[in-house]
Amino acid sequence: MYILIGIIFVVLGFTMLVAPKAFYAIVEGWKHQAPSEPTRLFRISTRTGGVMFLIVGVAAIIVPVIT
């Protein structure tokens, strides 16, 4: 079970890290009527969150394997 959750976290974290504009379009873009770009702070915080998701995802995959 943890391995599946880890894989989901890794995919989500990788998407947040590599494509914050796509993540913005999915999460926040639908709230605005006019097409808009994410702010610099949003991109930075999304990439930071992506790194955190990657770390947790990799840990969730590795820990059940080594225990």
The per-residue pLDDT for range 14-34, each reduced to its tens digit, is: 999 999 999 898 888 888 787
Please give the pLDDT value at position 4.
94
Backbone angles phi, psi at 36, to 5 degrees: -140, 160
End-to-end alpha carbon distance in the chain: 14
Please give the pLDDT value at position 52.
97
Over residues 33-61, the pLDDT tens digits come to 877 888 999 999 999 999 999 999 999 99
Q: Is-above-0.85 flag for pTM? A: no
58 vs 12: CA distance, rounded Å:
12
Residue 9: both structure tokens together: 């976290």
Residue 28: both structure tokens together: 């926040």
Please give the pLDDT value at position 54.
97
Please give the pLDDT value at position 31.
85
Residue 30: both structure tokens together: 């639908």
